Amino acid sequence: MRKFFILSLAALSLGALAGCDGGHSTAEVKTETESHGVTTVKTKSDVDGVKTESGLELSHYAVRAALGQNPNTGGYVTVKNIGKDDDRLVSVACDCAEKVELHTMKMDGDKMMMSPVPEGFEVKAGQTLELKPGGNHIMLMGLKTRPADGETLSLTLNFAKAGAVKIEAPVSNAPLSGATEHSGH
Ligand SMILES: [Cu+2]
């Protein structure tokens, strides 16, 4: 009886050790590079032996200059998923605004209306998400500063897998108007 008791204690402590050492391992390597208006972020993680590898390429980012007394303005970005896993743009943060939402455009009768997308936008592996004028966009609401043409604005994009990615978006009266020649396929 006594021997049995000791054995089970040993087994318990071995179990506890395994729990600390190998049971819940988390390793993550994240790299973020910026070059010529393209931000590339790559994340490799290993959580309990489940390996994920995400890669995103962010380009065509811009913010519309604040207009008159309008308390809101729009932000735009193109996100290409160059990784192996699907990802999702969950939210965006900016010190410039009280609140930031992700918006889509919907027909309401014969009127085009903006509506919030609280679940964010999915970007499947190999696919590209385009937030652009007239379409899905980032809504900066309750502006605390008045972003003006020629300035840059820091935005933090929060992805489900890639995590937070910071971009410096140029502010323009006509955002992305010069980039339209690149969007033709
Ligand atoms: Cu909007």
Please give the distance, rounded to the nearest whole angstrom, from the Cα atom of residue 16 to the centre of ligand 1: 51
Please give the distance, rounded to the nearest whole angstrom, from the Cα atom of residue 148 to the centre of ligand 1: 19
pLDDT tens string 20-71: 555 678 888 889 899 888 999 998 888 888 887 789 999 999 999 999 999 9
pLDDT tens string 130-150: 999 999 999 999 999 999 999
CB 103 within 8 A of CB 72: no
Task: Give first-to-last CA distance, the chain, whole Å.
Answer: 78
CA–chain centroid gap for 27, Å, is: 20
* Paired tokens of 146: 């008045």
Domain boundaries of the chain, sorted by first residue? 26-176
Please give the distance, rounded to the nearest whole angstrom, from the Cα atom of residue 48 to the centre of ligand 1: 40
Looking at the domain 26-176, which fold is it?
Immunoglobulin-like (2.60.40)
Task: Please provide residue 2's backbone torsions phi and psi, each rounded to the nearest 5 degrees.
Answer: -65, -40
